[in-house]
Amino acid sequence: MATCFWLRSCGARRLGSTFRGCRLHPRAGGLVPAPGPAPGPAQLRGYAGGLAGLSAALLRTDSFVGGRWLPAAATFPVQDPASGAALGMVADCGVSEARAAVRAAYEAFCSWREVSAKERSSLLRKWYNLMIQNKDDLARIITAESGKPLKEAHGEIFYSAFFLEWFSEEARRVYGDIIYTPAKDKRALVLKQPVGVAAVITPWNFPSAMITRKVGAAVAAGCTVVVKPAEDTPFSALALAELASQAGIPPGVYNVIPCSRKNAKEVGEAICTDPLVSKISFTGSTTTGKILLHHAANSVKRVSMELGGLAPFIVFDSANVDQAVAGALASKFRNTGQTCVCSNRFLVQRGIHDAFVKAFAEAMEKNLHVGNGFEEGTTQGPLINEKAVEKVEKHVNDAVSKGATIVTGGKRHHLGKNFFEPTLLSNVTQDMLCTHEETFGPLAPVIKFDTEEEAIAIANATDVGLAGYFYSQDPAQIWRVAEQLEVGMVGINEGLISSVECPFGGVKQSGLGREGSKYGIDEYLELKK
C-alpha cells in the first residue's frame, strides 16, 4: 500500500487563521434571471453580481475544440448554487462533438509529442503565469458556479496553477534507463513516451484544480486531452482553455466539451471507448468510476481513477485537544464538507471524548459562518444542489432515529434550499448511514472508542481508502497507526494534506494511480524497451 504521511509534530494551529471572518450580511445587489437561450459572454456578465466586470475573454459558453470556440446545437443552463439564478447557457455537446474533439486531440498529438520537453515546459509555464495574472477573475468564476467561499476559491486557483508550474518543471525530467542484460555485450535502453490522447472527466467540487492536476501532467508528458467538465461547473474549464490559447498551447492539445448531465453518459462513453484515446483519467464518485473502468476494459486503455473516500479522523487520548479541533475544522468543513478528503467519521477515545466534543462544538459556533460565497466572512457556502442537501438531511435523520445526539446544527439553513447548518452529532454508532456512506456535506459524526485496535478496526471497516487523519502525541503510536490505516494519504496531527509536491490518490475502491508529485507524470507515459 502506497501511503503518503503528513506529519505535524507539535504546536496547536490558531483556530482563527483558517476560519476567520465576520458576521453574515445580506448580499448587496441581486442576480438577474437568464433572459433566454445561448447568451454571449457580454450577456452572461450581466446575470450575476459575482461575474459582473469579469473579462469577456474568460467567460466562455462554447466548446473549445482544435483551438476554436464552437457552439453546439443545444445549450444547457448553469446556475449559481447560492441563489439558483442562471449564470448562463453553455454548449451542450453530444457524441458527434465528442468524436470531433478526440480527432482534434489525436491530430494535435501527432505533432505535440515531437515538441521538445523544454518547449512544452515553457508553454506550461506561460499558462501558469496567465492563471496567476487572472487569479481574481478565475476565483470569482469558481465561486459563482460552485458556491465555494471566495477565499477558498482563491486558494483553489493557486493550488490549480501550481500543478501547471510543477509539471512545467517535471516535463524536463522524464528520463529513461540503461539496463545491463545477461549477455555481456548487450545493453537494453528504456524510453518513456507519451501514451497519447487522454479523456479527462472531472467533478464540480474543484472545478479548476481537478483539471490542471491531470492536464498539467498529460501535457508535460507530450499527451493531448479532451476534457469533459461537470455540468455544474463548466466555466472554469472554459476559462482555462482561453488562457491555454493565450499562452500559445497549440490548437488541439487542450479541448473542452461541456455537456449537460443528460448527455454525460453517452459523451463519456464516446470519449472513453474511442480507439484514438489511449488513457482515461477520472475524478469523481466510485459509482461512475466503475462505469468508466468497464469502458477502459473493453478497449484496454490506461486509467487513473481518483474516486470517493470515507476519511476517518481519529483523536487518541494523548492528543492536544486544540490542535485536534483546528484540524477537525479544516478537514471537515473545507468547501462545506464537499471534498473527497473531508473527514467523514470522527473516532474519539473515551478519555478525551467529552473535552473534544465540547471544544469542537464551540469552535464550530465561533468560526463557521454560513452565507453566499461572495460575502466577506463566509466560510460555509451552499451545497452544490438540493440533492446534496437531501443526503446530509437523510444522514442526520437516520443517525438521530438510531440514537445519535445533535450537539449543534442538524437542519436546513434558513438562507435557502441549498444551505445546511454545520452539524455535530455525538453518540454515533456504526449502524448509522453516516459512518459507511460518504456524506459530502457539513456533518461531523462522533463515535466513541476505547482502544487503538478498536479505532483501527472501525477506520478500516470500509471498501474505500482515500485519506485518514489522526491526532496523537505518542511517537510509537504514530508509527503504528500510520502504517495500519488502509488509506492512500495520512494526516498526522494535520488536517490539510494536499500539495502539488506530494502524491495524491487512494487504495481499495478509492482509486487507481497517483496525481501530482514526481509520480504524477508517469500516469501519462509508456515504457518502451
Contacts of 96 (CB under 8 A, 6+ apart): none
Rounded to an integer, what distance in angstroms lies between the CA atom of residue 337 and that of residue 152? 13
* Residues 424 to 443 in contact with ligand NAP, rule: CB under 6 A: 438, 440
Binding mask 215-234 for ligand NAP (x = CB under 6 A): -------------x-xxx--
Closest distance between ligand NAP and the C-beta of residue 494, in Å? Answer: 18
CB of 98 to ligand NAP, least distance (A): 11
Residue 309 burial (C-beta neighbours within 10 Å; 0-12, 13-18, 19+): buried
For residue 56, which of 46, 70, 68 has the smallest C-alpha distance? 46
**How would you class 99 by CB atoms within 10 Å of its CB: exposed for 0-12, middle for 13-18, buried for 19 or more?**
middle
> For ligand NAP, which residue has the nearest CB?
268
Using the minimum distance from each CB to ligand NAP, give the nearer residue, 168 or 260: 260
The grid cell for 48 is 450575476
Contact with ligand NAP (CB under 6 A): which of 41, 495, 511, 516? 511
Nearest CA among 280, 268, 277, 339 for reference residue 304: 280
For ligand NAP, which is the closer residue by CB, 134 or 344? 344
Q: Which of 97, 152, 242, 306 is catalytic?
A: 306
Q: By CB under 6 A, what part of segment 230-289 binds ligand NAP?
A: 230-232, 261, 264-265, 268, 283-285, 288
Q: Which residues pair with 188 in a beta bridge?
A: 179
φ and ψ at residue 295, rounded to 5 degrees: -60, -45
Cα–Cα distances in angstroms (integers) from residue 120 to residues 239, 249, 516, in the given order: 20, 8, 17
Smaller CB separation from ligand NAP, 152 or 306: 306
CA 348 – CA 459 distance, rounded (Å) = 12
309 binding ligand NAP? (CB under 6 A): yes
Q: Which of 95, 117, 276, 291 binds ligand NAP (CB under 6 A)?
A: 291
Tell me if 162 contacts ligand NAP by CB under 6 A.
Answer: no
Cα separation, 352 vs 344, in Å, equals 19
User: By CB under 6 A, how many residues form the interface with ligand NAP?
Assistant: 30
Q: What are the CA-CA distances from residue 514 to residues 33, 59, 214, 520 (Å)?
A: 42, 31, 10, 6
468 in contact with ligand NAP (CB under 6 A): no
**Is 170 an annotated catalytic residue?**
no
Please tell me the distance from the alpha carbon of residue 343 to that of residue 338, in angstroms, as a whole number: 10
Closest CB 103 distance from ligand NAP, rounded Å: 19
Binding flags for ligand NAP, 167-206, as an x/- string (CB under 6 A): ----------------------------------xxxxxx
Smaller CB separation from ligand NAP, 206 or 374: 206
Q: How far is the CB of 20 from ligand NAP (least distance, A)?
A: 25
Cross-strand pairs, 508: 464
Which residue numbers are catalytic?
306
Residues that bind ligand NAP (CB under 6 A): 201-206, 210, 228, 230-232, 261, 264-265, 268, 283-285, 288, 291, 306-309, 340, 438, 440, 466, 506, 511
